[in-house]
A and B are shown apart, each in its own frame.
Chain A
Amino acid sequence: METKAAIELKNITKTFGSIVANKDVCLKVNRGEILSILGENGSGKTTLMNMISGIYFPDHGQIFIDGKEVVIRSPKDAFNYRIGMIHQHFKLVDVFSAAENIVLGLEEEQKFDINKSAEKVRQISEQYGFDINPNKKIYDMSVSEKQTVEIVKVLYRGADILILDEPTAVLTPQETKKLFKVLRKMRDNGKSIIIITHKLHEVLALSDKVAVLRKGEYIGTVETKNTNEKELTEMMVGKKISLDIERGEPKNPTDRLEVKNINCVNFEGVKLLDNVSFTAKSGEILGIAGIAGSGQRELLESIAGLQKLKEGEILYNNPKTGEVDNLRDKTPIQIRDLGVRLSFVPEDRLGMGLVGNMDIIDNMMLRSYRKGKSLFLNRKKPKGLAEKIIEDLEVVTPNAKTPVRRLSGGNVQKILVGREIASSPSVLMAAYPVRGLDINSSYMIYNLLNKQKENGVAVIFVGEDLDVLVELCDRIMVINSGRITGIVDARNTTKEEIGLLMTKTDSLENQGGEE
């Protein structure tokens, strides 16, 4: 008889509005097995796992635990089936100790005694080889320690099935290595582990089986030992789809922005940007590809004057004066005062690029309100601009006095991009400008970017859809854990090549996953 799977999913489907997040996904994990779920951003991995852990409820399909069909409606149900999920964003109380966080919300029979709990935490840690001090406060911990606390938290609750959502995204190679060691130990103890990732080498190094998702669809499951990076990449990125985005040849490109050896660390000292150098040329679109959180945001914010750099230079060749300005350590205002026409479409549209509660006209002013010596605002020009953008970009809105918060995602983005382009920039940076947009709006954005390129603007485009990057950009720079792993000519590359660069681990440092 076949061994009963610890957890099995059959034909799970979930939709959010018109977007299909998961379609007919089937998975099976046995006891003592590690399954990787591989897929690009937006392929539906996290949604799927959220259904197992009770955060979402599937529209269709069945879940079996130990061969019995179950219904998981809440995180509590998931606990009862001994399922524990470690989210990408930790849910921990900063001022509590590790042990306090671990027992939080738990209903135990015996009297509450934090020392006893700490003792139990220590036992679990020893059993699996974690290195954790139960009395240490979370705010004193590194990211990897916090992750350990999250893992111990689910183990403490007796979880047999562990789901880890991109656990290595925030870890250094050494920490990753340590994590994999304990995961293997847990597997040997009969636990089932599901790990979401998009790093190929990690998949190969750690898992027994790999399930691949692509744009919400289930592609298939393969045995790790029978596969290789190439096959997995193909499964993950799929066949090339032609998008028919127009692409003109760059007209006499000149160096506009030179980034030289910039380094940037966060407050914990983790490197966010590691010796990044590149040049953006006028009249071309430079694409930036990479797994989410590889340093794209920090890179753009460094150029825009929002991120403090540890080292390096950002040089701007001013086409008007012919002078070279160093933008490092300048505030956005100082950059503008230098006559640098830099536009930036940030990833967080309503939280950063626009003010949700303000109307379209007032949002137009964000960039320009300071102009002139008058104490008062001039709403005439912004009003004209707002109306022009609404008309040119076919923004669907009752009128220009509508708060942008009330517009749909595509229209919000049109407003933002429209404003940033309106200042006739010489450098235009756009982070995920088509995320969440429908096809038509997306094409409109592509066209706008192309038009800027024709006008001689140096466009920097951070994207996630490789098909788009390959067809839209002139060159594609691939970033991976804060490092540039390659710059390729978009006309002569393949998605596979980019995919490999995105997941490649630097040869200088020890590979995280390998034993």
Chain B
Amino acid sequence: MIVAFIQRAVMQGIPLLFGSTGEILTEKSGNLNLGIPGIMYVGGISGVIGAFLYERSAGGNLNPFLAIFIPLICSILGSALMGLIYCFLTVTLRANQNVTGLALTTFGVGIGNFFGGSLIKITGSDLPSINLTKTSNYFKASLPFADDLGWFGKVFLSYSFLAYVAIIVAVIASYFLKRTKKGLNLRSVGESPATADAAGINVNRYKYVSTCVGSVIAGLGGLYYVMDYACGVWSNDGFGDRGWLAVALVIFSIWKPNLSILGSILFGGLLIVHNYIPGLGVSTQEIFQMLPYVVTIIVLVFTSMRKKRENQPPASLGLSYFREER
């Protein structure tokens, strides 16, 4: 049972991991992108649209490569576009980040649910619902021998490729931020854009690139959710509040993507732990689902009280940068 619990926790955690890794990269540039939930919806639905169109045009015979490639590219493009909208408004036009982010979430969730509900009608298809089991099967493919390796295989090797992508991306992001020159530059943009500017760093370019890349990564979380977790079935609002949970995870992992790997599994576990505690009433389960948020608040309060400088949000988070000219 513990093995199954861990497996489910990981699967719950992967979309959060994608989301939080993307948001960490974004926040490190000083952009507090509250549009992440919307972006994850768009990442999911773009993949769905891609897969839907491909499944229809290919008839019954799907090319395994294309079946993965097309939804993936669609998802990436969709989320990147969302990131661009956010950047254009907040970086180029210096709009308020909170308002822009919330509008982006409204917009993104709207896009997701709209196309999710209307795809069938728009295309005039006679399919009863969007059910992309075929595509999903390709996404869900895991190592064939995983099950033969007992608990080890189940805990570590039983997941689909996107899950490993999530972990690899988080590790790379962590390495990028900590060990590379560009990562250093990016962090300086989020901490003190004026300093970065004076050092010859193109502040706006860093904000744009990191926010768009961050959006793409977050969008993959949406794709993973539909294609893998939900077995290719899109249901409106099915993704729920996972986007906000991803934002919470950023705080929980104090802006460190590698901590976010563990954090996501922990959050995933907290989300489903009520299923594994015997004798729990339905109502109590709801209290358990509160845990990730409570834990996040505790972390937030704790870090602000402790005032350890490394664990604070990037110093210029939420502020637009404008080089005053004389």
Contacts and interface: CB of A to CB of B under 8 A. Distances in A.
Interface of A: 16, 56, 75-76, 79, 91-96, 100, 103-106, 108, 112, 114, 137, 139
Indicate the size class of the contact surface on chain B. 20 to 34
**B interface, by DSSP: helix, strand, loop or mixed?**
helix
A95 B326 contact: no
A104 B187 CA distance: 10
Interface in B188-219: 188, 191-192, 194-196, 198-201
B275 interface: no
B188 A96 contact: yes
Q: Count chain A CB atoms within 10 A of each CB in B191, B198, B312 and give the residue with the most.
A: B198
B207 to A, nearest CB: 15
B326 A94 contact: no
Contacts of B181: 103, 108, 112
B256 to A, nearest CB: 13
B37 to A, nearest CB: 28
Given A103-B181, A112-B180, A92 B195 contact: yes
B191 A105 contact: no
A100 B198 CA distance: 15
B184 A103 contact: yes
Contacts, number: 59
Given A91-B194, A96-B188, A104 B180 contact: no
Contacts of B198: 75, 91
Q: Count chain B CB atoms within 10 A of each CB in A56, A92, A104, A137 and give the residue with the most.
A: A104
6 contacts: A75-B198, A93-B188, A93-B195, A95-B310, A104-B188, A112-B181
Contacts of A93: 187-188, 191-192, 195-196
Given A93-B188, A112-B179, A112-B180, A104 B196 contact: yes
Nearest to A105: B199
Nearest to A50: B326
B31 interface: no
Interface of B: 179-181, 184-185, 187-188, 191-192, 194-196, 198-201, 309-310, 312, 315, 326
Nearest to A47: B326
A95 B191 contact: yes
Given A91-B194, A91-B198, A93-B192, A104 B309 contact: no
Contacts of A108: 181
A114 B309 CA distance: 20
A137 B201 CA distance: 21
Contacts of B309: 94-95, 137, 139
B184 A16 contact: no
A70 B5 CA distance: 69
A91 B194 CA distance: 8
B191 A104 contact: no
A139 B191 CA distance: 13
B321 to A, nearest CB: 14
B184 A94 contact: no
A56 B184 CA distance: 28
Given A92-B195, A112-B181, A56 B326 contact: yes
B191 A94 contact: yes
Contacts of A94: 191-192, 309, 315
Nearest to A87: B198
